[in-house]
Amino acid sequence: MTTSAWDTATPYATALRTGRGPLFLRRTDGWLLPLEVERWCARADPVDLDVLDHCEGAVLDVGCGPGRLVAELAARGRTALGIDVSETAVEHTVRLGGQALRRSVFEPLPGEGRWDTVLLMDGNVGIGGDPRALLDRTARLLAPGGLLIAETAPMDVDERTEVQVVDITLTPGGAFPWARLGTPALLRYADRARWSAVRQWTAGGRRFVALRTRTASSSAETPNSTAVISSQRARRPSGDSAVAER
């Protein structure tokens, strides 16, 4: 998904500002997927907290949205950064006390090859509409042996399509490529891309997969490099590796 696509996603920005939907992803055939705006804009819930308990070291939240996970990690004293192509989402994350950048995962990012954990929550495994490309990109962001935690669809689906963000009035944002993956589909892509499956689980009606890189990232550096996020130095709690330089 490109930044320009979300620039035109006015319904999404409006929903984040108000903290409520209804909001949907609409396929070209008119099918609507409800988006859980209220949950995204709330504080991390027990299912989220369980996911964060599985995170290792410095955490990059890809498609962080309004920032509930980044804010919770910051409150725990963890090194974490959210990225999102929505300016409204980034602003919301910062207001909650998290650190975030307006950036696509496919653009240059701080700390490439040094992140210990990457999160793809809330359907963000669909970013870009090309699961293999997203997995390859994530592997380059992680340190050798790094952890990816992804939230998958609650059914067995492997779908790539064009979608728009729409509100209840069906006012559309710009179209962009998206994918929906169930756990079996993600595991198939991961195996072909040389990831190792660590764990899969269900909680609160949501499904998750943890994967670990099998090979070192070509851009990997030592996990103990000095960390800088934006123009500020991030706190480095005991046990966390450093993040990166912008």
Is 244 part of a structural domain of the chain? no
Tell me what percent of the chain is helix, strand and coil, each rounded to the nearest 5: 30, 30, 40
Is 37 part of a structural domain of the chain? yes
Q: Which domain holds residue 16?
A: 3-213
Is 94 part of a structural domain of the chain? yes
Is 38 part of a structural domain of the chain? yes
Summarize pLDDT for 186-219 with one digit per residue, the tens.
999 999 999 999 999 999 999 999 999 986 443 3
Is 246 part of a structural domain of the chain? no
Bin 207: left if φ > 0, else alpha if -120 < ψ < 50, else beta.
beta
Is 218 part of a structural domain of the chain? no
| CATH assignment of the domain containing 12 | 3.40.50.150
Number of domains in the chain: 1
pLDDT in 10s for each residue of the chain, 246 residues:
444 455 455 899 999 999 999 999 999 999 999 999 999 999 999 999 999 999 999 999 999 999 999 999 999 999 999 999 999 999 999 999 999 999 999 999 999 999 999 999 999 999 999 999 999 999 999 999 999 999 999 999 999 999 999 998 877 878 999 999 999 999 999 999 999 999 999 999 999 999 999 864 433 333 333 233 332 223 333 333 334 333
